[in-house]
Structure 1
């Protein structure tokens, strides 16, 4: 077999544990990602889902209503996109375990990351979460149960006791818990197929997986986000997975996989990741029929308690090129690069190298959120130029805060940076106004405030203080 299976899904992951979109943005976004090659979306609602009853405490104050969820599902359907809901069921349950009501479910009392698989209420908690999501996604074909990065496993007294009694290792705890969850869910949703992240099984004995029957209950999604030069997935892992699981998925990243506080998406990094995945698929071409498809992940936070990283509108050009890279199978040609750029309303070619800053900024592209994209490019230029100003010897050595506090400054030093600083302050004030409006068109107020506070206000306040201090020192030094 020299081709991938007849249909290879391309799902775009929407991570809503930060910067959840207004419904009006989905009306623009989903038709676009369908047009550039996506066949579905994996929606990770986290605390934006309108949980009810005993789970009502899980909701964010700006969580979607049930009507909003149904609208989003309808927009996806009209765009010919499948919707795969994702609910974390083991690791990364911070949004649940941070609540005092659910403290007792923690594997380690100090940390809200991991659910205890042996707690008598864990299964019913997870099943209720999944059931509430399924009520609004009753036509889903796949459901993603997460289960990645279960860092704290077999730590509590309850789990340790079970491991001793049953002579289990930590891997047994993992597969037993997931097997019980999925078995219960299968009874309620017999046609639904379940996906889990694979990382906890990479070094696991295959007999542990098959002994619990997990290989017949779930489809692993193998995630790896590094570029070709750092891509490290062993062939022995693939041989294991492909010998025991009837179907597997792969997962790349188009954003949210580099720096925890990344503002601009490093396009070439992510293109290289997709080229590496193309090689994996080619190396395992004899198993092409086992590969269901790929999820292009777009993480919005590294976890529930970290800052927002790249916003999706800022990463849309990268997403378009990544989808094309996967569809082309052989890499991104210059012709395809130009065609994709044009297809999303980009003037010229999408930049592959966005660092170092500052760089020239293209005209506003026509894709949804294009104005915000350009404003963020301008913002990163201002931030980079401010960093250059702060490295100026006249600032570091002639305008130290001690010297300013004691009025021991020389206008000769101040003149080396004050005009540039004043210009940058004007730029950041203008950008603050523009970005506030552009964020507000797409996101809810809490996201607008968080993003401005994280990425615009620090630069703005530094420039305000620098210019204000400079003006005061100039006044002090001017002869009367």
Structure 2
């Protein structure tokens, strides 16, 4: 199997015909995943953030076969046909459940989703970054009603991803060591989403075996001209959950960095609250020597 980076104009896969040559097709991608994960029964095929849809001449010709009166609906049908095709490929490879983001069909008609047989092929994954995704207007009108009608039996459940890269300067909650308390926090929240935040935080601290005096241990501090207010995860270095010792190992590893800009980049984007502590330690060691 061979893949190369395509020129910018060809980065989008044409959903009307497989791209020939050395560019990877959906068939190749899914086969590679199946080979690497032969025991997996589920696959997520993506289906989000696609641009330049139906701009390829092959797609333009195909649009006329879908709907003669509405170009918007024709594009929706084109997307649905492509998602269905990729989902069938997944099924043929043996995946029992196929996930797909809602982005590319969340405005599609129920009739068109049924015609594409999405209900037999995929489980939709509706995502959102707002704290309250029930806010009117955040999702397309009647999204959940349409999905429940078109994909009967495929609606329900929550995927806990530990994924928060929409905030690029926060610690990576999907990686060790932060992933463990992140997962615990998610699960405590899902037990009862109506609970008071303070009650949930108390349970999280108990499960992570944090000390009783936790709240007073981390306070805002000035670093240069900036006032840094630690995130809640700054408390976690004082807790005794499995994997917590990695905090100390990471802090110690920083001493092996030679170039200051490398240390600054890592600390600024990952563990800014440790920067001042490390600087004080280095200063003390210099004085002692």
Bin the TM-score by the shorter chain. Answer: 0.5 to 0.7
- Of 148-157 and 161-170, more deviation after overlay is shown by 161-170
Question: Shift of the alpha carbon at 1:194?
Answer: 0.5
Residues 54-76 of structure 1, C-alpha deviation per residue, up to 9 Å, x if partnerless? 14xxxxxxxxxxxxxxxxxxxxx
Residues 252-271 of structure 1, C-alpha deviation per residue, up to 9 Å, x if partnerless? xxxxxxxxxxxxxxxxxxxx
1:407-446 alignment, distance < 5 Å = 434=252, 436=254
Q: CA 1:451/1:204 → structure 2, altered by over 3 Å: closer, same or farther? A: farther
Residues 43-101 of structure 1, C-alpha deviation per residue, up to 9 Å, x if partnerless? xxxxxxxxxx314xxxxxxxxxxxxxxxxxxxxxxxxxxxxxxxxxxxxxxxxxxxxx3
1:361-440 alignment, distance < 5 Å = 362=235, 364-367=238-241, 370=244, 434=252, 436=254
Which of these residues, 146, 157, 168, is aligned with residue 240 of structure 1? 146
The answer to whether residue 185 in structure 2 is matched with residue 321 in structure 1 is yes
Q: Which residue of 1 aligns with 2:161?
A: 297
Instruction: Give distance in 2, aligned partners of 1:235 and 1:204.
Output: 11
Which of these residues, 144, 158, 162, is aligned with residue 44 of structure 2? 144
Instruction: Give distance in 1, aligned partners of 2:126 and 2:50.
Output: 15
Q: Which residue of 2 aligns with 1:103?
A: 6
Instruction: Tell me, yes or no, if the aligned pair for 2:118 and 2:150 is still in contact at 8 Å.
Output: no
Which of these residues, 167, 171, 180, is aligned with residue 310 of structure 1? 171
The alignment's TM-score, normalised by the length of structure 2, stands at 0.67
Q: CA 1:119/1:296 → structure 2, altered by over 3 Å: closer, same or farther? A: same
Which of these residues, 204, 212, 215, is aligned with residue 340 of structure 1? 204
SS in 1 for 2:25: helix
Q: CA 1:134/1:332 → structure 2, altered by over 3 Å: closer, same or farther? A: farther
Question: Shift of the alpha carbon at 1:334?
Answer: 4.6
Question: Shift of the alpha carbon at 1:242?
Answer: 0.8
SS in 2 for 1:204: coil
SS in 2 for 1:196: strand
Which of these residues, 120, 123, 126, is aligned with residue 222 of structure 1? 126
Q: CA 1:457/1:201 → structure 2, altered by over 3 Å: closer, same or farther? A: closer
The alignment's TM-score, normalised by the length of structure 1, stands at 0.43
1:143-162 alignment, distance < 5 Å = 143-162=43-62
Q: CA 1:229/1:149 → structure 2, altered by over 3 Å: closer, same or farther? A: closer
Question: Shift of the alpha carbon at 1:347?
Answer: 2.5
Structure 2: which 5+ runs fail to align? 221-226, 280-289
The answer to whether residue 89 in structure 2 is matched with residue 184 in structure 1 is yes
Residues 386-432 of structure 1, C-alpha deviation per residue, up to 9 Å, x if partnerless? xxxxxxxxxxxxxxxxxxxxxxxxxxxxxxxxxxxxxxxxxxxxxx9
Between Structure 1 and Structure 2, which shows a larger proportion of helix residues? 1
Question: Shift of the alpha carbon at 1:146?
Answer: 1.0
Q: Which residue of 2 aligns with 1:199?
A: 103
Question: Shift of the alpha carbon at 1:316?
Answer: 4.3
> What's the C-alpha RMSD, in Å, of the aligned pairs?
4.2
Q: Which residue of 2 aligns with 1:213?
A: 117
Aligned length: 247
Instruction: Tell me, yes or no, if the aligned pair for 2:188 and 2:203 is still in contact at 8 Å.
Output: no
User: Whose relative contact order is higher, 1 or 2, with alpha carbons under 8 Å and at least 6 apart?
Assistant: 1
Residues 190-221 of structure 1, C-alpha deviation per residue, up to 9 Å, x if partnerless? x6111101122221122221122222211101
